[in-house]
Amino acid sequence: MLWQTLKAMRDVGRLHEIASVLIRYGFGDLVRRLGLANTLEHAGKVLHWSEARDLAHMTPPERVRRAFEDMGPTFVKLGQVLATRVDLLEPDWIAEFGKLQNNAPPVPWEDVLPQMIEDLGAPPDEVFASFDTTPMAAASIAQVYRARLTDGDEVVVKVRRPGIRRVIDADLHWLSRLAAAAEAESPEWRALHPTTIVRQLSLSLRRELDFTNESRNAERIADNFKRYTDADYVPTASAVDKTPGGAWSPADDAARNAPEPPIIVIPRIYWQWTSERVCVQQLIQGIPARKLEVVDEAGLDRQILARRGAQAVLKMIIEDGLFHADPHPGNIFYLPGNRISFIDFGMVGRLGEERRDQLIRLLLGLVKYDAQAVVNVVLEWTSDDTVNEQELISEIEAFVDQYHGVPLKQLRIGEILSDLMVIPRRYHIILPADLVLLIKAFITLEGLGRELDPEFDMATQTLPLLEHMMHERYKPAAVFRRGRRTASELFSLLGGLPQDISRLLRAARRSPLEIHVDVIHLKRVGDQLDSAANRLVVGIIVAALIIGSSIVMTVPGGPTLLGLPLFGLIGFVGASIGSIWLLISILRSGRK
């Protein structure tokens, strides 16, 4: 308790900054409703309500986005998480949150140097042959420097901002408390499931703060692409096995004597200098995906780049179950030979075998106009028994039917998925976090493909892989493998059954069995009944006091006060106090 109190006192300054930004962008009423003003006043912090700006020219989504940018990295990340929640928010909010970027002014080198010495074990000029102290890029969580190793390899050094973990921990602490309060008090907020979103944000941020986690993700994805081929490229065993993790940079191609470089490039991680706060990886010298005019000048084939990028991401999603969850143009480079490099694996999505199976059936249902297949998958995602399944089924069937007869080349898979998610939102169906990341990746990928090639057709790229994966799923070996796993689980359950029955019987012999049933909202109903009973008892006592005091007033004799019988006067005073309490209690409960 003492530690929590001290921590809360330490974080009050950060709460004051957040509340001030909210007031500045016209959310003063929200500050009051969430109780932030009272909390800060008790802590001796004064809010300046006059700071509110004239925001008539801004839409509500734009105001929230601007406030998130001013409140710092945690809220920028919160906006980016919300931009993936197509199952919760309207398209105008999704589009506005999609504008949030992690750009931030760089931290001065003299503030970064002590932390780097601590993490590297020596000053950078002793570890690297050369080190440029001017950042290549600066984001809200980290900034990146260019360096060269003693063996000549060009690398980038990603450094976490000093003190950023304390700021993020404070933000997450207050966000979790505010989300719980908002969900408990407001039906409108409850429909957005704020505690679920904050939990997703917390998990994502804590993973992103640890660069070893990002590095492991990069190596796993590189390993999955070791033997990756397409119609234009067939790697030889020697080309694959020469480099750990299957990662090349263009400068290393000749030195490694590889007959053909890989078409998907993942930066190599230098683990000897990588830790929680520092990541050293290969420098990718390619054309940023945003600079399409440079792609044309370099003679690269846009159609091949679009197809290879789509196939690579589809492989990550459908085949591997580990995918880059943020494939925006800033994280993609184009290399000579129409090759593609992915960087920044701080945000990845993970799909288990069951989820991938659901995804395959959903996408096949969409591209083959099989409404029943789509309905079955959405119902598997539905955990709320209050959903009207017949209405949901009818709406999904109508949605799929509108695409019937549309040529495959005209289907926009990303747009269809985004539109489909509007239906679960209307029924308050909350999608699993891995699925919303996947849908966001699909939408980003399709947009990137169309920027490269206006004729890019995501459905045509997707259908062969889906059919191949469905065929692989029902091969005898795959069926036997799943059956063996199911049989193993069944035998394990049966093997433990005698022990479970024995424990149950021993418990029954020692004492009577008790069955605990939790009924949703029963505690709240019980509290309301208890409060009503208390008010009823007070009302009866007040009525008894009034009647009794009236009788006493008519009885002559006894002590008096101001010419009135003392005991009758005391009774009336007690009845008045009880009446006032009863009235206040009723008003506080919201009853008239």
pLDDT of residue 423: 81
Structural domain includes residue 219: no
**Pairwise pLDDT comparison (181 vs 322), residue with the higher score:** 322
Do residues 194 and 179 make contact, with C-beta atoms less than 8 angstroms apart?
A: yes
pLDDT tens, position by position, 508-523: 776 666 666 655 455 5
**pLDDT band, very low/low/confident/very high, at 251 (cuts 50, 70, 90):** very low
Tokens of 5: 């109190």
**Pairwise pLDDT comparison (203 vs 566), residue with the higher score:** 203
Q: What is the mean pLDDT of residues 10-18?
A: 73
Query: How many residues in total does the chain contain?
Result: 592
Q: What is the mean pLDDT of residues 39-62?
A: 70
pLDDT of residue 242: 33
Q: What is the mean pLDDT of residues 452-476?
A: 77
**Pairwise pLDDT comparison (39 vs 217), residue with the higher score:** 217
Structural domain includes residue 430: no
pLDDT of residue 51: 64
Q: Strand, helix or coil at 4?
A: helix
Contacts of 267 (CB under 8 A, 6+ apart): 156, 218, 247, 249, 281, 282, 283, 284, 341, 343
Structural domain includes residue 497: no
Tokens of 131: 């080190």
Residue by residue, DSSP assigns 406-434 as --GGG--HHHHHHHHTHHHHHTTPPPPHH
**pLDDT band, very low/low/confident/very high, at 364 (cuts 50, 70, 90):** confident
Contacts of 191 (CB under 8 A, 6+ apart): 428
Catalytic residues: 326
Q: Strand, helix or coil at 354?
A: helix
Q: Which DSSP category does 154 fall into?
A: E
Which residue range is the domain that position 577 belongs to? 522-588
Average pLDDT in the chain = 77
Structural domain includes residue 575: yes
**φ, ψ (nearest 5 deg) of residue 344:** 65, 90
Structural domain includes residue 142: no
- Of 50-64, 104-118, 378-392, 410-424, where does the model show the most confidence? 104-118
| Dihedral sign, Cα of residue 518, residue 519, residue 521, residue 524 | negative
- pTM higher than 0.75: no
**φ, ψ (nearest 5 deg) of residue 332:** -130, 135
User: With 60 as the cut, is the pLDDT of residue 393 above it?
Assistant: yes
Q: What angle do CA 423, 427, 432 make, to 5 degrees?
A: 80
Contacts of 153 (CB under 8 A, 6+ apart): 252, 282
Give the number of other Cβ atoms within 10 Å of residue 585's Cβ.
Answer: 15
Q: Please give the sequence-ordered ranges of beta strands (E in DSSP) within 217-356, or none if there are none.
A: 264-265, 278-282, 287-288, 322-324, 332-335, 339-342, 348-350
pLDDT of residue 72: 81
Q: What is the mean pLDDT of residues 480-502?
A: 74
pLDDT of residue 515: 65
Q: What is the mean pLDDT of residues 168-185?
A: 80
Give the total number of structural domains in the chain.
1
pLDDT of residue 458: 79
With residue 350 as reference, give the H or E element that holds it: strand 348-350
| Gap between the Cα atoms of 187 and 144, Å rounded | 43
Q: Please give the sequence-ordered ranges of beta strands (E in DSSP) within 7-160, or none if there are none.
A: 130-131, 137-138, 142-148, 154-160
Tokens of 200: 């997703």
Structural domain includes residue 555: yes
pLDDT of residue 280: 94
Structural domain includes residue 554: yes
Q: What is the mean pLDDT of residues 237-263?
A: 46
Q: What angle do CA 15, 182, 173 make, to 5 degrees?
A: 40
Per mean pLDDT, which range of 44-48, 232-236, 424-428, 583-587 is the poorest?
232-236
pLDDT of residue 512: 67
| Gap between the Cα atoms of 59 and 392, Å rounded | 32
User: With 70 as the cut, is the pLDDT of residue 199 above it?
Assistant: yes
pLDDT tens, position by position, 77-88: 888 778 777 767
Structural domain includes residue 556: yes
**Pairwise pLDDT comparison (552 vs 148), residue with the higher score:** 148
Contacts of 377 (CB under 8 A, 6+ apart): 358, 361, 362, 365
pLDDT of residue 258: 46
User: With 80 as the cut, is the pLDDT of residue 278 above it?
Assistant: yes
